[in-house]
Amino acid sequence: MTFQKVVHADYTSNVYVFFLFSALSFILMLRGDFGIGLDGKGIPVSEAEKEESTLSITVVGASGDLAKKKIFPALFALFYEDWLPENFTVFGYARTKMNDEELRNMISGTLTCRVNQRFSTLPDLSFPIPHDLNADTREHLQGKLPHTAKPSYLKNFELLIEAAGKVSNRLFYLSIPPNIFVDVVRSVGLRASSLNGWTRVIVEKPFGRDSESSGELTRCLKQYLTEDQIFRIDHYLGKELVENLSVLRFSNLVFEPLWSRDYIRSVQLIFSEDFGTEGRGGYFDNYGIIRDIMQNHLLQILALFAMETPVSLDAEDVRNEKSLRSMKPLKLGDVIVGQYKGHSKSGRSYPAYTDDPTVPKGSLTPTFAAAALFINNARWDGVPFLMKAGKALHTRRAEVRVQFRHVPGNLYKRNFGTDLDMATNELVLRVQPDEAIYLRINNKVPGLGMRLDRSNLNLLYSARYPREIPDAYERLLLDAMAGERRLFIRSDELDAAWALFTPMLKELEEKKIAPELYPHGSRGPVGAHYLAAKYNVRWGDLGGDDS
Ligand SMILES: NC(=O)C1=CN([C@@H]2O[C@H](COP(=O)(O)OP(=O)(O)OC[C@H]3O[C@@H](n4cnc5c(N)ncnc54)[C@H](OP(=O)(O)O)[C@@H]3O)[C@@H](O)[C@H]2O)C=CC1
Ligand SMILES: O=C1O[C@H](COP(=O)(O)O)[C@@H](O)[C@H](O)[C@H]1O
């Protein structure tokens, strides 16, 4: 196996890092579920195409936080697990100048263990430039050619030259701030598209900040790319438990009959992080937790949870059934917002959101929100879908909690006392950490007499599946390479998602609603409890008996 990395180039007007990894001699094992495959995994290409094609993956924004923490580790994990095709190259672009060693250090520092083991066995990363690049490009890459001023960001995309005589497929990952999305897409569309293979672009959120800006972004992107080339990523859709949601429901007879207003009393989608916005305050203040987490990650999970049975697992069939268009726009009265304040605990002090120098003083941006959404269809009419998302809370967790109705005429109510909520069944999908699915049931405590107890039927992934669970970005990158769109957001879904949130967000901002302050590291504002109480339910994550 060889592994190559080349070169940064300095330019007169801007300085870009340009580096190239070329991993050769990988074994491509094709994934059976994509049809044309051979033996169970890999990218769906025929044997002929495998030999005749090259794949380049270009990470734009390669020096950034996301590239460092997620994209490069995911690419290396795919490489490590032999999921990448034979002729495979990774390019990276950023503004920061970085030498080879700095770059290598940046990447190796964030690789997961399993990847590190193999990374450390790699030979020296500095190899000559591959012979299949033409002479001009070689010189250009080595910084020997004079450079004139670059009219736009990434002008030098034309440097992308893959092995001569092969079909070149190109995947671009835009890991950059939204204000330069369109410039980069223009460069990709006009200067760097493949002439004989496919060109796809993965776009990171935020996809606008309301219906208008999102619509405008979509229009601009579509000037240079077709909808089929745009892969809008929501990495929560790549998480193992979220992917399993449909399997759980549609492949187990015991759940599907219960999946409606007849048996389900409320559904709760809960996201919490035990750290603040440190380092990302500048970005975050323009968006807030509702746009950062609810309008995309939690809403996508909700849409998958509540969908009707699709005709097939094809991307379009699945995306057609996601229930976004049946949902009612969110009302301000069904939302509460919060913001974390400074707090001292055990001699340590934790900053307030507004202590971040990149956050404007007096900012009203919510770092916490809770909301109640409703779906206007026969299956879900009247069922509150409660969402709760917050930064700087007491724990890091993401989960879906399905609370079932009380048992009618419960024979055992005497044994539970008057608190019937304590006796309702609850199905919990813990997305992270410690992935698990568990069902809370009532059970007789063994022994004489009749004492009832609430217990969990528990599928803890680490016990049942000891293998490490791949990161969401691994799955989504692989899908994008394969042209599988099921887990990416279609433009009409995006429009529907913004239509649900935009009126409420506008009102919230116009009325300058002050967020309720909560201490850093707490469970969040009490307003969230009032919201749940309004719909006669309780947040399930407060019970304290999770396994
Ligand atoms: N970080 C995260 O956890 C997540 C991020 N995202 C999204 O991913 C994208 C990237 O985020 P993140 O990595 O955190 O951001 P960073 O600010 O850490 O990195 C941004 C990258 O873009 C480059 N860049 C910034 N401004 C310009 C410019 N004007 N012209 C050219 N290049 C520029 C930077 O280059 P340089 O460093 O050289 O200046 C850097 O490589 C954003 O859209 C963000 O919303 C989405 C989900 C999670
Ligand atoms: O998209 C985002 O997600 C992260 C949380 O992702 P996770 O996979 O670590 O749970 C969040 O921190 C960030 O604010 C948001 O932009």
- For the ranges 73-87, 265-279, 504-518, which has the lowest average pLDDT? 73-87
Report the C-alpha gap between 413 and 400 in whole angstroms: 27
Residue 527: CB atoms within 10 A of its CB come to 17
* pLDDT above 90 for 250: yes
CA-nearest residue for atom 7, ligand 2, is 236
- Provide the annotated active-site residues: 297
Of the spans 42-46, 194-198, 229-233, 444-448, which averages the highest pLDDT?
229-233
The answer to whether the bond into 503 is cis (omega within 30° of 0) is no
Report the C-alpha gap between 271 and 387 in whole angstroms: 8
pLDDT-based confidence at 433, cuts 50/70/90?
very high
pLDDT-based confidence at 533, cuts 50/70/90?
very high
For residue 260, give the nearest of 428, 372, 377 by alpha carbon: 377
Q: Which structure tokens are listed for 20?
A: 């190239």
Characterize the bridge pairing of strands 426-432 and 436-444: antiparallel
How many whole angstroms from 506 Cα to the centroid of ligand 2? 24
Report the C-alpha gap between 143 and 16 in whole angstroms: 11
CA-nearest residue for atom 15, ligand 2, is 292
pLDDT-based confidence at 5, cuts 50/70/90?
very low
> Residue 359 belongs to what H/E stretch?
none
Query: Which pLDDT belongs to residue 3?
Result: 30
pLDDT-based confidence at 36, cuts 50/70/90?
very low
- For the ranges 97-106, 373-382, 501-510, 520-529, which has the lowest average pLDDT? 97-106
Report the C-alpha gap between 24 and 31 in whole angstroms: 20
* pLDDT above 60 for 520: yes
Query: Which pLDDT belongs to residue 105?
Result: 74
Query: Which pLDDT belongs to residue 104?
Result: 66
Backbone torsions φ then ψ of 341, nearest 5 degrees: -115, 165
Query: Which pLDDT belongs to residue 139?
Result: 41
Contacts of 491 (CB under 8 A, 6+ apart): 218, 227, 230, 232
* pLDDT above 50 for 24: no
pLDDT in tens, 161-192: 455 567 888 899 999 888 888 888 888 887 77
Contacts of 241 (CB under 8 A, 6+ apart): 429, 430, 431, 432, 435, 437
Q: What is the number of the ligand closest to the CA of 152?
A: 1
* pLDDT above 90 for 539: yes
Using H for helix, E for strand and C for coil, what is the string for 247-299? HHHHCCCCCHHHCCCCCEEEEEEEEECCCCCCCCHHHHHCCHHHHHHHHHHHH
Contacts of 444 (CB under 8 A, 6+ apart): 450, 451, 452, 453
Q: What is the number of the ligand closest to the CA of 275?
A: 2
Contacts of 540 (CB under 8 A, 6+ apart): 268, 270, 401, 403, 426, 428
Ligand 1 pocket check: which of 175, 187, 203, 300 to mutate, most ligand atoms within 8 Å of Cβ? 175
Q: Which structure tokens are listed for 290?
A: 């509702």
CA-nearest residue for atom 31, ligand 1, is 95
* pLDDT above 60 for 42: no
For residue 233, give the nearest of 508, 417, 472, 53 by alpha carbon: 472
Report the C-alpha gap between 241 and 150 in whole angstroms: 45
Enter the pTM of the model.
0.86
Query: Which pLDDT belongs to residue 386?
Result: 98
pLDDT in tens, 59-83: 888 888 898 899 988 988 888 888 8
Q: Which structure tokens are listed for 117?
A: 């083991």
Q: Which amino acid is at 499?
A: A
For residue 248, give the nearest of 408, 484, 435, 483 by alpha carbon: 435
Whether ligand 2 lies within 6 angstroms of the CB of 204 is answered as no
Whether ligand 2 lies within 6 angstroms of the CB of 292 is answered as yes
The predicted model gives 234-258 an average pLDDT of 95
Query: Which pLDDT belongs to residue 106?
Result: 75
Using H for helix, E for strand and C for coil, what is the string for 1-22? CCEEEECCEECCCCEEEEEEEE
Residues of the chain above pLDDT 70, percent? 77
The predicted model gives 402-413 an average pLDDT of 86
The predicted model gives 20-40 an average pLDDT of 28
Residue 280 CA, closest ligand 1 atom number: 14
pLDDT-based confidence at 503, cuts 50/70/90?
very high
- pLDDT averaged over every residue in the chain: 80
For residue 64, give the nearest of 19, 95, 99 by alpha carbon: 95
Report the C-alpha gap between 480 and 435 in whole angstroms: 25
Whether ligand 1 lies within 6 angstroms of the CB of 150 is answered as no
Provide the ipTM: 0.97
Query: Which pLDDT belongs to residue 153?
Result: 34
> DSSP letters of 196-247?
SS-EEEEEPSP--SSHHHHHHHHHHHHHHS-GGGEEEE-GGGGSHHHHHHHH
Whether ligand 1 lies within 6 angstroms of the CB of 64 is answered as yes
Q: What is the number of the ligand closest to the CA of 68?
A: 1
344 HSE (CA, 13 A, CB side): 2
List, as own/partner pairs, every contact residues 50-53 make where C-beta atoms lie below 8 angstroms and the sequence separation is at least 24, other chains included: 50/85, 50/86, 51/86, 52/166, 52/167, 53/85, 53/87, 53/166, 53/167, 53/168, 53/169, 53/197
pLDDT in tens, 274-333: 999 987 888 899 999 999 999 999 999 999 999 999 999 999 999 998 878 899 999 999
Query: Which pLDDT belongs to residue 146?
Result: 30
Q: Which structure tokens are listed for 176?
A: 């950059």
pLDDT in tens, 113-165: 556 555 544 333 322 222 222 333 334 433 332 332 232 333 334 444 455 56
